[in-house]
Structures are given as structure tokens and as C-alpha cells.
């Protein structure tokens, strides 16, 4: 019987982590995830995987750890000896990073260094595996660089989060060049889903719309409606991440749909998908959701991913909004219009 490939995922309890586990298990991997100790349950996005797996629990394992704790990361890598590591863990909220910049730099920036150092030390101390590394880089790196953005576009980070991701990006490139580690940056543009965190704007809108449809809320409070994003569907983006580690050579790739829409477009489309006319009656401005520096417009130029990875986004904007609204309406017991 062929030996199963092993993957280790940080951020396994997040939106992307949950889709990546499903993908890798389907591909026959043994999957290990790092979870943080919390005083409440934080595994709601992956609980169903354990339930589905009751016949063969040996393919999915969780380990306590934290990206701020180098010692545990090192021990996990030495014990598990994964073929591939996907570093998805991060303080990933841009607005929040202005409130907790040092913590964000520690986890989102230095956390990446800690994983790469552990991989390097594993190799140098005679480890058998040539561990491949995926870094969850972000279109936030481009910041104020005008669209479309590709692998050669300059970075101009506009938040503590983006600055931390820039450190992580360059550290990944440096460990590839300095130590020959198979390390890739996936520069992913915004990707969403029915599992998206509830404080990111898309999910906040689809949940808000559903709560209004269910008669639970009267208003939805938002910040800047003019910002434009390239929004795609998260499960497809994890396929791209996996593909990057299956190539002959490590490299960095931009992943997105190639289209941008404003937050206002998202609002209008979401209310319409729920059959509610006159969105203006429900949406109020709240300056608390503004950022000290904003990223105005992101649009991916994905020609490299299309050529090398043969990857292309399938789910476009209108379909994405429909999926998320339908999910949240159902969650609130509202019949689709």
C-alpha cells in the first residue's frame, strides 16, 4: 500500500483551514492541524470532518500549539515529519490589526519565521523529509498599488496586518533562496464562503441581510462602501495552494478572479438575492468600521497561475453572493425568495 503523504496545517480551525483539510483528506493525505487552546470550543468549522471520519479517525489529528510558541512548533514538526506544511494561521483581520499591531506582527509575521526556522533545523539535524512550505500571503501586500496586481507589482502595505504579511512574504522567499527550502507564497486575493468569519464584510453583510429577512434586526451598520475587492470562493483557492506545492519548482503566485466589485455592489446584490427591495432603508454608516489607511482597489492578474498551475477561478461574484446569502437565510429559517 502506498504511504500516505502527511500535511501539517496551522490555522486549521479557520475558513481556509477547514476547506484545506477536506481537500487533503479527499486526496488521501494524513492531515495534522494545530489548534489554539481556548476557553470555548473553536473547532466548529472542522467538527463535521471528525463526524464523517468516525470509521477512520487515524487520518486527521489535532495538536495544541500557537504560532507565538516556537518550541511547540519545532516539536510538532519533528514528531509529525510532514511532507507539506500550510501556514494559514494568522491574526487575519485588517481593521483589528490597527488595535493590536504588536500581537499581529508577532503571530502573522514572526509566526512564519518560527515555522521556517523549525523546517530549516529539521533538515540540518538530519530529518529525512524535504518538507515543502506554503505561506498564506495576501493581496493586502499591494495596498495602494493600482490594479491589476500581479507577482511583479510593487508592495505598499497599508496596515499592521499587511506589514506583518510583507515580513512573512520576504522571509519565505529568503528561506527558499538561502537554504533551498521548497517554499511558496500564495498571494491570495479575498476569498469568501459560507464559513467566512462573521466580522469580515461579506459575511457581515450576508448575515445582516438574513437577520433582517428573519425580522431579527432592523439595520446593518457598515463603514466604507466604496472599497473594491476581487472576491472569489474559498474552496477553489485551497486547490490553488495545494497545486503550488505539487510543482517541480517553488515559486510565488497571485490567485484571484480578475474582477473587482465595491462593497456597495456586494450590499445591493445580497439584499436582492434575499428578495429585499430598497437596501438603503436598512444600511447605516458607522465610522467605527473605517480604517486609518484603506486599500481602495484590488484586482488579480492571474496569468501566471493560469499558465503554470492551470488554475482559474470558477465561482464569480454573483454566484458567490448567492451561495452565502442562501446559506445564511437557511441558517435563520428563512425560505429562499
Find residue 232's DSSP bridge partners: 191
Query: What is the closest distance, in whole angstroms, from the C-beta atom of residue 337 to ligand NAP in the complex?
Result: 28
Interaction partner, residue 10 (ligand GDD, ligand NAP, none; CB < 5-8 Å by kind):
ligand NAP
Residues that contact ligand NAP, how many (by CB under 6 A): 27
Q: Does 171 bind ligand NAP (CB under 6 A)?
A: no
Tell me the window of 30-38, 74-82, 170-178, 309-317 that interacts with ligand NAP (CB under 6 A).
Answer: 30-38
Q: Is 92 in the site for ligand NAP (CB under 6 A)?
A: yes
Active-site residue, 81 included: no
User: Quick one: 82 or 256, whose CB is closer to ligand GDD?
Assistant: 256
Sign, CA dihedral 245-251-257-260, equals positive
Closest contact distance (angstroms) between CB of 271 and ligand GDD is 15
For ligand NAP, the closer CB: 13 or 260:
13
**What is the rounded distance in angstroms from the CA atom of residue 63 to the CA atom of residue 37?**
10
Look at residue 68 and give the partner it binds from ligand NAP, ligand GDD, none, a contact being a CB closer than 5 to 8 Å depending on partner kind.
ligand NAP
Active site residue 138: yes
Contact call for residues 100 and 91 (beta carbons, < 8 A): yes
The catalytic residue among 10, 18, 137, 138 is: 138
Which does residue 334 touch among ligand NAP, ligand GDD, none (CB within 5 to 8 A, set by kind)? none
Q: Is 139 a known active-site residue?
A: no
Collect all residues with Cβ–Cβ distance below 8 Å to 60 and sequence separation of at least 6.
21, 25, 30, 31, 32, 33, 49, 50, 53
Q: How many helices (H) and strands (E) does the chain have?
A: 12, 13
How far apart are alpha carbons 192 and 243 in whole angstroms? 19
| Chain contacts with ligand GDD (rule: CB under 6 A) | 92, 94-95, 138-140, 189-190, 199-201, 204, 222-224, 227, 229, 263, 289, 291, 294, 298
Q: What are the two backbone dihedrals, phi and then psi, of residue 126, each rounded to the nearest 5 degrees? A: 90, 10
- Helical (H) or strand (E) element with 94: helix 94-99
Q: Does 91 bind ligand NAP (CB under 6 A)?
A: yes
Give which of 20, 24, 18, 22 is closest to 4, Cα–Cα: 24
Which residue matches cell numbers 500581537?
103
Residue from the set 6, 7, 8, 15 that interacts with ligand NAP by CB under 6 A = 15
SS3 187: strand
Q: Minimum distance from CB of 203 to ligand NAP (Å)?
A: 10
Is 90 among the residues that bind ligand NAP (CB under 6 A)?
yes
Question: Taking the CB of residue 72, how many other CB atoms lie within 10 A of it?
Answer: 17
Per the residue annotation, which of 22, 30, 140, 236 is the catalytic one?
A: 140
CA 303, 308, 314: angle at the middle one, nearest 5? 60
Non-local (6+) Cβ contacts of 116 within 8 A are: 133, 171, 172, 175, 181, 183
Residue closer to ligand GDD by CB (options 282, 289) is 289
- Beta carbon nearer to ligand GDD, 82 or 148: 148
Q: In the set 104, 112, 138, 172, which binds ligand NAP (CB under 6 A)?
A: 138
Name beta bridge partners: 7.
31, 84
Instruction: Tell me: does residue 89 bind ligand NAP (CB under 6 A).
Output: yes
| Contact call for residue 21 and ligand NAP (CB under 6 A) | no
Query: What is the residue whose three cell numbers read 494559514?
Result: 88
Which of 119, 131, 173, 188 forms a contact with ligand NAP (CB under 6 A)? Answer: 188
Vertex 15, ends 148 and 44: CA angle to 5°? 170
Specify the DSSP class assigned to residue 133: E
Which residue ranges make up the site for ligand NAP (CB under 6 A)? Answer: 10-17, 34, 36, 38, 42, 66-68, 88-92, 107, 136, 138, 188, 190-191, 197
- Give me the active site residues, please: 138, 140, 161
Amino acid at each position: 500500500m502506498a504511504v500516505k503523504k502527511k500535511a501539517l496545517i496551522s490555522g486549521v480551525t479557520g475558513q481556509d483551514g477547514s476547506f484545506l483539510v477536506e481537500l487533503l483528506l479527499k486526496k488521501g493525505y494524513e492531515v495534522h492541524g494545530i489548534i489554539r487552546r481556548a476557553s470555548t470550543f473553536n473547532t466548529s468549522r472542522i467538527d463535521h470532518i471528525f463526524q464523517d471520519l468516525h470509521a477512520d479517525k487515524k487520518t486527521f489529528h489535532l495538536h495544541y500549539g500557537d504560532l507565538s510558541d516556537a518550541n511547540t512548533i519545532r516539536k510538532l514538526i519533528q514528531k509529525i515529519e510532514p511532507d507539506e506544511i500550510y501556514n494559514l494561521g494568522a491574526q487575519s483581520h485588517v481593521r483589528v490589526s490597527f488595535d493590536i499591531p504588536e500581537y499581529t506582527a508577532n503571530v502573522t509575521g514572526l509566526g512564519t519565521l518560527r515555522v521556517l526556522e523549525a523546517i530549516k533545523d529539521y533538515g540540518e539535524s538530519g530529518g529525512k523529509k524535504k518538507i515543502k512550505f506554503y505561506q498564506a500571503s495576501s493581496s493586502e501586500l499591494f495596498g495602494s498599488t493600482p490594479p491589476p496586481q500581479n507577482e511583479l507589482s510593487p508592495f505598499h502595505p497599508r496596515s499592521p496586518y499587511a506589514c506583518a504579511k510583507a515580513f512573512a512574504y520576504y522571509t519565505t522567499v529568503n528561506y527558499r533562496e538561502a537554504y533551498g527550502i521548497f517554499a511558496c507564497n500564495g498571494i491570495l486575493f479575498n476569498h469568501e464562503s459560507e464559513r467566512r468569519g462573521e466580522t469580515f464584510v461579506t459575511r457581515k453583510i450576508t448575515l445582516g441581510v438574513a437577520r433582517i429577512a428573519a425580522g431579527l434586526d432592523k439595520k446593518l451598520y457598515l463603514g466604507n462602501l466604496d472599497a473594491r475587492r476581487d472576491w472569489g470562493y474559498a474552496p477553489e483557492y485551497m486547490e490553488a495552494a495545494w497545486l503550488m506545492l505539487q510543482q517541480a519548482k517553488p515559486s510565488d503566485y497571485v490567485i484571484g478572479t480578475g474582477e473587482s466589485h465595491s462593497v456597495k455592489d456586494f450590499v445591493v446584490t445580497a439584499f436582492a438575492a434575499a428578495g429585499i427591495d430598497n437596501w438603503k432603508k436598512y444600511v447605516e454608516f458607522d465610522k467605527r468600521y473605517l480604517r486609518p489607511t484603506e486599500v481602495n482597489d484590488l484586482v488579480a492578474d492571474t496569468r501566471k497561475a493560469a499558465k503554470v498551475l492551470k488554475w482559474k477561478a470558477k465561482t464569480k461574484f454573483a454566484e458567490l453572493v448567492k451561495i452565502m446569502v442562501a446559506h445564511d437565510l437557511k441558517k435563520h429559517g428563512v425560505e429562499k425568495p
